[in-house]
Chains A and B, each alone.
Chain A
Amino acid sequence: MSDPFLRMVDVRKRFPGVDALKSVTLEAYAGEAVALIGANGAGKSTLMNVLGGVIAPDGGYIEIDGKRAAFRTPAEASRDGVAFVHQELALMPTLNILDNMLITSFPRRKGLIDYRAGEELCRNALKQLGYDFPLRTRVRDLSPGDQQIVEIARTLLGKSRIVIFDEPTSSLTSREKERLFEIIRIMKSRGTAIIYITHLLDEVFTVCERAVIMRNGAKVAESRIADLTRGQIVEKMIGSQEAVAYFQHHERRPGEVLLTVEHLNREGFLDDVSFTLRSGEVVGLWGLLGSGRTELFRALMGLDPIHRGRIRLHKPGSEVVDLSPQRAHSVMGMLTEDRRTDGLLLPMSIRLNMSIANLKNLLYRGWPFVYRAREESVTREYVKKLNIKSTSIEQRVATLSGGNQQKVVVGRWLQTKPLIFLLDEPTRGLDVEAKAELHAIVANMADAGAAVVIVSSDLDEIMSLSDRYLVMVRGRIVKEYSALATKHELLATASGISAQAEGVG
């Protein structure tokens, strides 16, 4: 094989608390697609953000076509022919196709935009992909697949020699996917180097020639696709030692049914979701990013509309009732994915953050005034129970560490004594110690009789906590596993591969 067109050598990056990239080397060749595979948090995105000029590396260097390159901004990267097709498209919905494609590169004549030349450019770029859109259509009126075509066509306007696709199929129909693969084939035949990031292994075999597999910020394998099986890839992604490790997990006996969800449907997000929750169990809701995990939580909490289906609450000692969105808050507590923006009132004190969901129980003898002494004693009780490290209950939440912030949110919901806890990535960004503490808290919730549903991108975490798993793919619950499920099964099911058919594990 000829010399690599792109070489990233010994690239290192450290974020506070984690080595995001530990000396990673990546090569890409002209006319070839290399798959970059890894679980969430393996370092794929960080590596690509270094290449795209979004993140500055701590060490290492980049060579393009034999020449050293260092990008400080995305604009510099694109000038040197590195184009990025983002998972979340960088498009401006109220502008039309032409404006979106040309926004930073309008052809000009006498200071005015030369629309005739611009149309020519756009039409040519789209034609290379086999499309002929009316260029004055607003981008927000296009389907997600067509929007992506516009974003890809934009990379063809410049002289992009390296194109990075970040999970490009996550919002495409199967026909649109075929189309995308065909486009990638065309780009390869023109000598473009493609870097293809994905979780979905089927696509790797269709699109790519080579695979680079990452785990925990390091490259763990590199091979020609033809020499790999799906089973091997999965094993490399999760690590062979860990794959056999048995998860110590204490047995719980689930109690009565608390909640039944029947044929829940939210158009575009949730598709015929049914399941039950019992008191005293921890259910792991496992799926890839964008599979609808967060959306399911939001629907249960009554934050998003439900188009079809019902949610039934079996409150102990009373009749089975439909759970209205208004009542959801009184029986469920939710930890949001991003506690800083969704969950916490950062400039306010621990006391105010923790009492806010429970104020009606802290009133002074039914008067509409908060009983300050009660509020303080209850706050202290939970600060102690959850071992929140702080100088006083009046400390501003913004000044707490991530783990303690998360415990403040937990304490807020514990006060309301919910029957059901929904935890969305509860330990994201926390250090090991804080994670362990939160795991203990989760186990206590279930032992105290609550039903807990946990979403996490960290498979180890989910496996160490759950009594049962629900696996989501594209808005559906496709399979349920008992506590005995293996990592292989869970990962393969979520990646859209039937475990039996492939014989993994």
Chain B
Amino acid sequence: MAAKERFTLGRFLLSYGFVLTLIAIVVLCSIASPAFFTFKNALFILHASAPTMILATGVAFVLMTGKMDISIGSTAYLSAGVGIMLMVHAHMSPLPACLIIFAIGALLGAVNGFIVVVLRVNPLITTLGTFFTFRGLALQITNSLTISIPSDLGEFGSIRVGPFFLDTLIAGVVLAAYHLVHTRTVFGRYVMAVGNGVDVAQKVGVPVDRTTFLTFVLAGLMASVGGVLTMAQVGSISPSLGQGYEFTAIALLVIGGVSLFGGEGTILPGIVLGALTLTIIQSGLNFVGASPFVYPLVRGGIIFVAMYADSLKNAVARKVRLIPE
């Protein structure tokens, strides 16, 4: 029969550590600043974390196959950059411009996928290369300028449906759709199968290459969606758009339980928990009046702890015995 996992403090902390940390942070911040634990602030936190949450969702499948994509921040900038040029200079209306942005995002993802799957280049190296080239292209196209979005789109970032910001709802829809794909479609299962090891997946008959390629396309597509939302929130695009998004996205995935070794992780609730942990800490530090220069330090510490927990979990698992018990 299935071995019942014995309860140990270590295992409990590995599984629920970040939920506990999250609760602890909320409690601490609420005590330190009464304004922190308010509905209004909660809405703002959800609003602020929407773009990164979407980027993270997009790249989640890539990580679950045991691969990596660090070009998504540049993809967001390049696709949004082309879009804004079309709107500003070709006077294209926002909706078709957005569709073109999404198509470019998917195309850039396909470029990554092609290099990884067909040319067999290591994914980290591939996306490190495109991380620079995509941003470089975008800087050429926009002349490295900060460009404001046309006025008829200016209000987009602050549209609310009921009490919620529109981008919070969009993030919600994306997450729900991804959750469905992950848990209920064959593609979702293939992603996890590939993450368990390419050799075994191939032996069993999983179309490894097609699955891998598609995860990169989706990562690019979602990066462009995140790029549009960021552009709308800020009201313009600047040369720093999307900078650092890739690492925030990967960090929040790992915090939410996605393993860099592949084959492990959930969309819901994992990504939401990860995103909330990071955003709440930042917001909390803000409320208690910490210097903004402390953020990177704290964030780095959290990422390190999350990665370490991930590697601990993997050290515990996957052992084969020669002598039966």
Give A residues with C-beta under 8 Å from B: 74-75, 78, 86, 90-95, 99, 103-104, 106, 108, 111-113, 115, 133-134, 137, 140-146, 170-173, 176, 267-271, 290-292, 295, 474-475
Contacts and interface: CB of A to CB of B under 8 A. Distances in A.
Interface in B139-196: 180, 184-186, 189-190, 192-193, 195-196
Given A95-B263, A140-B318, 8 more contacts: A90-B203, A92-B197, A99-B189, A142-B2, A171-B322, A176-B324, A474-B322, A474-B323
Nearest to B180: A112
Nearest to B184: A112
A178 to B, nearest CB: 13
A295 B263 CA distance: 28
Contacts of A267: 321
B195 A75 contact: no
A171 B192 contact: no
B322 A104 contact: no
Across the A-B interface, give the 3 residue pairs with the lowest CB-CB distance, nearest first: A268-B321, A92-B196, A173-B324
A95 B189 contact: yes
30 contacts: A74-B203, A90-B204, A91-B200, A92-B192, A92-B193, A92-B201, A94-B264, A95-B189, A99-B189, A99-B193, A103-B193, A103-B205, A103-B206, A106-B186, A106-B189, A113-B185, A115-B184, A133-B1, A134-B2, A141-B3, A141-B5, A142-B3, A143-B325, A144-B324, A176-B324, A268-B319, A268-B321, A291-B322, A295-B322, A475-B323
Given A141-B3, A142-B2, A143-B3, A90 B200 contact: yes
Nearest to A132: B1
Contacts of A291: 322
B297 interface: no
A78 B205 contact: yes
B280 to A, nearest CB: 29
For chain B, what secondary structure do more than half of its interface residues adopt (helix, strand, loop), or is it mixed?
A: loop
Given A99-B189, A103-B206, A142-B2, A94 B195 contact: yes
B192 A269 contact: no
B2 A93 contact: no
Contact of A108 (B3, B186, B192): B186
Contacts of B196: 92-95
Which of A86, A106, A170 has its CB near the most chain B CB atoms (within 10 A)?
A106
B9 interface: no
A292 B322 CA distance: 7
B315 to A, nearest CB: 12
A144 B3 contact: no
Contact of B321 (A94, A112, A269): A269
Nearest to B263: A94
Contact of A103 (B185, B204, B319): B204
B322 A146 contact: no
Contacts of A86: 203
Given A104-B206, A141-B2, A271 B184 contact: no
Contacts of B193: 92, 95, 99, 103
A92 B190 CA distance: 11
Nearest to A292: B322
Contacts of A134: 2
B317 interface: yes
